Structure 1
């Protein structure tokens, strides 16, 4: 077994060390068969390889609202794909079974995986999306940045076939690979997790959140539709100072119409002893962001909450009614104007009524 496909973002220095330039962690590979912190990039002689090109751990058809993307082609179905590994090590990761898994390389250079993975080509992914009635391909579940090469090739092919590409990411990616990838992206949801102390202690990540904020700005500059998600964890990032700072940064750098999702924490992985987030905390954080000037702030992981809906910031009318991931009511004109007052609601793309995600929901 080979060690995978040649990676794109790296350089070899005069001393024979390989420097990975994909994410801000900047792993240095001094030994043959050394594996990067992400768990999937491997040194092979004087090259860096990606061990997960076309190695798929998860494949499902989801509603676009599950990503979550609320103001991007509402009602569309997305073929979601993932591999293994991650650039972060979040103690609260809900997908830790795949994100914290990694490849292994024996002394003889034999590559092995923690569990069976499905081999797929970019053509396979595009064909499955079309066969299952999905107009979107979502790179998600584990961090897509670390399977950059496969995502890039698939996204290019998807574009040629009239499909949309969405990037569900922690945003921990260097500027150049982000700009190159952004040419083929239509939307992104970025996790903005907390301040520097939070990232360092609970995700074991250096150079954040500044690197994440930079990547978000790059996406916006390149014309990618951006929505932000923050998981609110009791006692860790639920203070008013952080939420007000986040809201102000979004206002100044992305604008007041940027959708923000405040998600409720549930105990998982290495934080099973921490309580779930009170719904009242989510509502309080949401109100703070609205008071700061943001127009569209949603509650996540709170099924049935009124804050799953989109409200007109001018007249307060419910213009998109949701229950979970499903659209239940639509009060917008064809040009996305509120039918009550005419206020334009900045939804990218037309409403879709795709049902593919319902057909494949339990498969």
Structure 2
């Protein structure tokens, strides 16, 4: 006879077999990504049949439905790539700063990239996607350094609250500067308004080909720092005692995240909250080991942004809501929950 004390506690099987649980979560994420990709190709202002999907994927555009599918395919690819970049960058930034509130949008990194792109367009006449990517990376790096320096001032160093406040103030200031730059040039104002919200409409395989090398390079650099991020989580002194090159690891992870943020912002605009929501979710599901957290965050970011783009196409059909608005609606309540959770922990 089995007594109550003989029964395994809830979740004990999962605790005894963490590898099996991670495998199931990986399968679930891959299925969710496949479903989001299919929905992104099929869903929109115009319904399409299976034959239209197959023809559109091959590049045939004999009918309106086939032309719609042909436009949705690169849009879906871009959404998945940008989402993966932002999810991965968010996980790395949280690991580098040991700050649960770290996110490319909250820390002002995206707005730094935006200001750099707008300044390059207005002042230097930059028009190519590659030039936008380079200046966006420089702007993202400058904003990240500034926010971290300001958030490190005072007693206690770079605490999560000070970094979040520094990022919010910096984002507001950069937004004002962007408006000042754009107001003087009506010819770029209309284009910039839609880009500033954040979206993946108008995607093409040419743009994807231009941004892909930057995203791959940033992702590889971030992946190489995964083990070092685990050491940094123990504290700089202990990490150095374990033989970790703290400064080199932090700079490498920082560089990879900045490249990802800058490149993603250059092609899709300053999309926020993806890098905040996704790493937190998978940290709860699979643990804090960055060797697993980083790839899961990339896949989860791809799922979130692709699904958000589908939702944006359907909620006001036949019109569209930019994906940046959808992610903000999802991420803002999540941000408030994290802040409240951290405040309770500090009591």
Q: TM-score, normalised by structure 2?
A: 0.27
Q: TM-score, normalised by structure 1?
A: 0.26
Q: Which has the higher helix share?
A: 2
Q: Which has the higher strand share?
A: 1
Q: Greater relative contact order (Cα 8 A, min sep 6): structure 1 or 2?
A: 2
